[in-house]
A and B are shown apart, each in its own frame.
Chain A
Amino acid sequence: MNDRRVAILGGGLYRPGRVRYDNAEEGVAMAYRSMLDDFPNLDPKDIEFVQSSYFSDHLNQQLCMAWIVQDYIGQHRKGGYRIEAGGSTPIDALINAYFLIKSGQFDLILLAGWEWMSEVDTATTNEFIASASDTDWDFTVGGFYNGYYAALETRHMQLYGETIEDLGRIAVKNRNNAVHNPFSQWRAEHGTGYVSLDDYYKDRIIAWPYRRWNCALISEGACCLLMGSEKVAKRLTNNPMWIDGVGLGTDSMRPGDRLVDWAYHGVYKAEEKRYPKNIEKPITPYPEMANFGFAREAAKQAYAQAGISNPLKELDVAELFAPYDGVELCLYEDLMFCPRGEGKTLIREGVVERGGELPCQLSGGLTAFTHPVGATSLLQTLFLYWQLAGLIRKKLGDPTLQVKKAKKAITTGHGGTGCQGGVIIYSKD
């Protein structure tokens, strides 16, 4: 690998909501404009490439939406293309833009991410999203992701003993963070009061073990980020957030196939050994339907590049792509914050809470902040940028979520039931 350094230089967002009536290109333009406000020295002509990030053609009855967006903001003529991989779309767009700069091809890239998800009714939105599952198999019997993910969480719960209370603690934590984020959908819809476990228990179950609060939001929103090489970073900002490492991973399309997951078989022996003795083992014990192999695979690469050997100690803040609260708990394990089966301990002991050793989802995450798919990882990255640059008070008008002296951060992304995803490690000098 060459020694070119690549950084996030800053960004802007368009406040996501359940339904927004400005359309996608206008939302991106407004996010772009608020990004430009932070770069008085940037001539838009100096941007060399536009990396677009959105996942669905179905949701808006429009193919090649990226072409509309790129010309709308006057960034056409130069190169640009879209990345698409379901929920993995925005993390892949970030990693791809990183590769394009790292390779020496470009020095300055604009990332534009968005999703407009409420142009069809909610059930149809769920169906369109679920058409990213195998439509000949999984789709036929469930028809939406809540069910698949709930089944994965049931398996993990059976193997490793976390409880509904643990899932509730995560849901409460994320909401009580989101009330301090004025861009969060939770705050827009529910105000600034804190919630408790008792409130969580009153929430309706939609796919046991998940209640509504445990599930990702449906959103319309946009985010723009500026990514550059060291050469341009120095000129444009005093606060570059460096990309120290990236990793990519995949797993099977159908989660049921992971019981005999030959590609993973024998690769992660320590995790295979931590399989409970009293439960019959499938041929491949890790990740099987309980954990997320893509995340382990991606984290291993990203940590090696970033020189991280003890992520819980060395990382200061995490924004995880967790569309369901059980995913967040499993990611603690698959990202090696703790051994397999100990995810529950991290939430019980407050390690991942605000003020804990490694706070996760200070923004509120996908279940309380927002989830306009193509923009999600960009928004989480922008949030981490504000954290590392010490800009939380300025950007949110409230210092509560600022992690003091934060230097290293992690974000993840994935699509399907963990079919494809990535990990990025960020740092500041």
Chain B
Amino acid sequence: MADEAKIIEDKATPIKKEWEEYARKGNWTVKGYEIVRALSGPGRIEKSKEEDFMVIYRPHGVLYHHSYGLVSKFFKGLIDKQLFGTKCPECKTVYCPPRVHCWNPKCRVAETKWIELPLKGKVHTFSVMLFSADAFLEMLPFVLGYVQIDGADTALPIQIVTAPTDVFVGQKVRIKFREDRKGDLMDIYAVPAKGQTIPENSCLHKNNKNIEHLNRDLENTYAFLNKRFGIKKEDVERRWKAK
């Protein structure tokens, strides 16, 4: 067997042209500049003096090709609407996110076995995101969850599609697949299982002020979405009302 790799499924060629071109556009050359007058010096503001600075604009685009390695099966599984984890034959720990090698020191990096997992789990913890990185702005507001899939011993990072004021620790969820799947964790999301009531000890709900403030700032986020993307509050709410 020769030490060479061959492509056995190609879902990249059509996008390569577009993105390689984009990546080459920013080739470390200066595209423009500003002269900025600003404070200089190490000490207190009162002791600083003004200087003129030249600020250059120099783009740098990159297209990475990255192997998912031996956990490729997990991500190919997402494309095929299956959720996989791994199980250690020695200590029986079930990993999702999967590990191909068990990290229990007793197991001496034993190779794990692939198992298919059910499309349900429970919320271990969460955050309600009212701001995020560029790539996620249009998805706001969303719930970033860590969900323990039934049968797994670890928690998987996943977005929970729900009214942000309804989520709680211990909530049972079902895992759904998006229509347009690309091979990363955004191919799946969680929705709350039906017929649950918010427990009295929920840290988000046990003080009314929490919900009051969250609702106030959700309105700010809706206003931002409307201004920046023309997305209406009703459009956002439809995301979880439809589930």
Contacts and interface: CB of A to CB of B under 8 A. Distances in A.
Tell me, yes or no, whether A binds B. yes
Interface of A: 12-15, 17, 19-22, 27, 30-31, 33-34, 61, 123-124, 126-127, 130, 136-138, 140-144, 146-148, 150-152, 154-155, 157-158, 161, 163-164, 182-183, 188, 201, 204-210, 254-257, 259-260, 262-263, 278-280, 282-283, 289, 397
Name the 9 nearest CB pairs between A and B, nearest first.
A150-B127, A256-B155, A143-B133, A30-B42, A155-B125, A208-B128, A21-B53, A260-B153, A123-B134
The CB with the most chain B CB atoms within 10 A, among A150, A151, A280, A289, is that of A151
Contacts of B43: 15, 34
Given A182-B44, A183-B44, A263-B105, A256 B156 contact: yes
Contact of A144 (B55, B66, B126, B133): B133
A182 B44 CA distance: 6
A151 B58 contact: no
A31 B43 CA distance: 9
B131 A206 contact: yes
A151 B127 contact: yes
Interface in B103-151: 103-106, 124-137, 144-146, 148
Contacts of B144: 141-142, 147-148, 150-151, 207
Interface stretch (B1-9, B13-21, B209-217, B232-240): B209-217
A126 B134 CA distance: 9
Contacts of A137: 97, 157, 185
Contacts of B184: 136, 140
A201 B213 contact: yes
A140 B103 contact: no
Interface in B157-207: 157-159, 164, 169-170, 184-186, 201-204, 207
A204 B51 contact: no
6 contacts: A13-B42, A138-B157, A157-B203, A161-B203, A204-B220, A209-B203
Contacts of A397: 44
B36 interface: yes
Contacts of A260: 93, 95, 153-154
Contacts of A14: 42
Contact of B158 (A15, A31, A141): A141
B127 to A, nearest CB: 3
